[in-house]
Structure 1
Amino acid sequence: MRNQRNLLALTLCFFCLSCSTFNINNPQEEYLPAAALQPFGRYLLNQEQKLELVSSAVHFGFSFEGTECQLFASIPNANGHNYLQYELDGVYQKRIRVAGNAKEPIRITAPTTGKHIVWVYKATEAYTGPILISSITGKKLKPLKNPVKPIIEFIGNSITSGAAADPSEVPCGSGVYHDQHNAYMAYGPRLARTLGLNFVLSSVSGIGVYRNWNSDGPTMPQVYEQVNFQEYNAQLWDFTRFKPQVVSIALGTNDFSGGDGKKTRLPFDSASYVNSYIKFVQQVKSKYPPAQIALLSSPMLNGKNRQTLQNCLTAVKSKIDAAYPTDKPVALYFFQPMRARGCSGHPNVEDHAILAQELVPFFKKLISAN
């Protein structure tokens, strides 16, 4: 009996020693809740303390040590899907499909041990619905804050969103509309990275100033203040969270659109466009009084429409400058015509690189003057 007790004690001792050794060699992973993250762009922290990524290219950063961490992401629609994309140690990696019925976390792996920096972006836009971040697990996790730099807010439509730009995984004409979204590679984020700036995208596919691609509204002036750019939403965005030095507005492509050819569409109305645009610029100036306003034309318009748009934007500038004589004058930029190579006539990722490079001198001058 004594021998049995000694054997049991010896076995328990060995078991405890084994457990202790396991904990030393495999330290428990840490848990970083979504509430600790510091996102940049439009977002919400819901009642369940999940981070809702709302706008195109809204992003957050964190660091970890080792070779792997896990990101717990989901979407409200169990039958749908959405997309994230990420950088690892300053190098863009890929888009990640987030399925509505996903049970496993997203695993982010690094080729070496040591400390790694990750920035995660929403690849799609607000209308696709939020992507919910619950938590991150890994070793020595730390949330990161965007470095203090000047901010550009890019207001626009599908072009600004990076929509229909990336058919590398899902070919044009197949899947659903947001399968080809790539906000990270859109001209605004590219431009901001080139100039070392922070950025926010406030963009909606198909939207215009006085009318949309195939409808009379709701237009950007009607939804700009809603957190998710949806007219029905009573929750407003808190414009004090970010203070852009420059606000870039690129709206007009959809106002000029002929629609789908089935729904009745009146000819473009220059007066309605200019008057609505003036009111929208005033709306934006009320949110960011010191900001420099920059109006961009459309690379997708050519011929008579291109010239008409430029004339309209010049008229908007003239009216705003006269109404705000002590403010910085409105800046204008007219894109060079482009034969877009993306889906449904949109710029693809290579085209966005051209657009960004074209804009560098213009925005560099504006930022240096502010």
Structure 2
Amino acid sequence: MKFKYNWLLVAFCAVYVSCAPLKKKTGDSNSLPATALQPYGRFVINQDQNLEMVSSAMHFGFSFKGKQCQLFASIPNAGGHNYLQYELDGVYQKRIKVATTSNDPILITAPTEGNHTVWIYKATEAHTGPIIIQKITGDNLKSLREDKGPLIEFIGNSITCGAAADPSEVPCGSGQYHDQHNAYMAYGPRVAKALGARFVLSSVSGIGVYRNWNSNGPTMPEVYEKVDFQARNPTRWDFKMFTPQVVSIALGTNDLSQGDGKKERLPFDSASYVSTYVTFVQVVKSKYPKAQIALLSSPMINGKNREKLQNCLTAVKTAIDAASPSDKPVALHFFQPMRARGCSGHPNVEDHGILAQELLPFFRQLVK
């Protein structure tokens, strides 16, 4: 089963200079600069004071009056492309391809006149490269803040990214890896929306706890503190930007995988997996001391490996609970096995809906 660790060599033209809170520049009512937006998820404000959307499903909202507004978006890698997706008045619309071949703004059109709300999401993951937002133009523009409520951080791999889930525009087996990404429809955002919660995704395709899909690293514990999950990037994420009530971690599919069949792959080392996982959870807890930690298994693993993963996660919980007896006990959820229908053995959009429904009772007990 191929859960690809998509190391794209992106030639960044923009320079990462800050991931600090935005200095609000409101402009006038007909132009909303990037610095006036209120982003959720991992982002960077570059030297041009533009917003770089980094992580999966990173999002921001705004309102406008009339029938149309214009979103000025670009990508730094020449000849490449990326994807946004958006809601209009609370209803999901579609994915939008962002390429370097056009300088025209993205037009967002409403069916009627009046006041409208828009939420823009990054459809792809951090390793696909950033999408740069310069400004929005239109009438009576206002930046939106999400309603106050519990925040869930979903840490995981390609499944959490919503990778390979949506072949509706580019069929499986064609195009590039991120052409079938749909982070908005992944299980995490769907669980959060159903519970009236907010969310951020910290996920990378092919990544694992102590080894990846087809490599020994860098693994999630090695890149989690980097703003874009790239080991070589010196810029670290500011964990004071968001304070999740629940941190969900779903890692293990790639540790247990057989790899790409080309590189040497040693048998799964349960001791290394458990010890590294325990250390990683302790790092997460140091960032969010009051957060409830939830560990998820994998719907893609069946048979003996499924039992092996569940035993390992139980061992992680036991170790963390013993080390922090005054904290909330670690919560566990073991997925029911799934025969995934997306590309390269991943869940598709409909499968993510099934996963979200399975998870709702579990997260409902954790989110207050």
Provide the TM-score with structure 2 as the length reference: 0.92
Residue in structure 2 matched with residue 7 of structure 1 by the alignment: none
Give the AA of the match of 2:229. F
Residue in structure 1 matched with residue 91 of structure 2 by the alignment: 91
Secondary structure of 2:367's aligned partner: helix
User: Can you list the C-alpha shifts for 1:198-224, whole angstroms capped at 9, x where unaligned?
Assistant: 000000000000000000000000000
Counting only pairs closer than 5 Å after superposition, residues 168-179 of structure 1 correspond to structure 2 as: 168-179=168-179
Residue in structure 1 matched with residue 64 of structure 2 by the alignment: 64
User: Can you list the C-alpha shifts for 1:72-129, whole angstroms capped at 9, x where unaligned?
Assistant: 0000012000000000000000000000222100000000000000000000000000
Residue in structure 1 matched with residue 137 of structure 2 by the alignment: 137
Q: Does 1:210 align with 2:210?
A: yes
Q: Which runs of 4+ in 1 moved over 6 A?
A: none
TM-aligned CA deviation for residue 53 of structure 1: 0.1
Residue in structure 2 matched with residue 358 of structure 1 by the alignment: 358
Give the AA of the match of 1:60. F
Counting only pairs closer than 5 Å after superposition, residues 202-351 of structure 1 correspond to structure 2 as: 202-351=202-351
Kindly tell me the number of residue pairs found equivalent between the two proteins.
341
Distance 1:63 1:163 in 2: 29
Residue in structure 2 matched with residue 22 of structure 1 by the alignment: none
Residue in structure 2 matched with residue 180 of structure 1 by the alignment: 180
- Once the two structures are aligned, what percentage of the paired residues are identical? 76
Residue in structure 1 matched with residue 40 of structure 2 by the alignment: 40
Larger Rg: 1
Counting only pairs closer than 5 Å after superposition, residues 186-197 of structure 1 correspond to structure 2 as: 186-197=186-197
Distance 2:33 2:337 in 1: 46
Distance 1:116 1:147 in 2: 17
Distance 1:224 1:347 in 2: 24
Distance 1:269 1:52 in 2: 38
Counting only pairs closer than 5 Å after superposition, residues 19-30 of structure 1 correspond to structure 2 as: 30=30
Secondary structure of 1:286's aligned partner: helix
Which 5+ residue runs of structure 1 have no aligned equivalent? 1-27
Give the AA of the match of 2:216. D
Give the AA of the match of 1:240. K
Give the AA of the match of 2:247. V
User: For the Cα contact (< 8 Å) 2:29–2:142, is it kept in 1?
Assistant: no
Distance 1:234 1:154 in 2: 23
Distance 1:224 1:62 in 2: 29
User: Can you list the C-alpha shifts for 1:300-348, whole angstroms capped at 9, x where unaligned?
Assistant: 0000000000000000000000000000000000000000000000000
Which 5+ residue runs of structure 2 have no aligned equivalent? 1-27
Secondary structure of 1:306's aligned partner: helix
TM-aligned CA deviation for residue 29 of structure 1: 7.8
Q: Decide which structure has greater helix share.
A: 1
Residue in structure 2 matched with residue 78 of structure 1 by the alignment: 78
Higher relative contact order (CA 8 A, sep 6+): 2
Question: What is the root-mean-square deviation in Å for CA atoms of aligned residues?
Answer: 0.8
User: Can you list the C-alpha shifts for 1:43-63, whole angstroms capped at 9, x where unaligned?
Assistant: 011110110000000000000
Provide the TM-score with structure 1 as the length reference: 0.91
User: Can you list the C-alpha shifts for 1:144-179, whole angstroms capped at 9, x where unaligned?
Assistant: 011111000000000000000000000000000000
Counting only pairs closer than 5 Å after superposition, residues 105-116 of structure 1 correspond to structure 2 as: 105-116=105-116
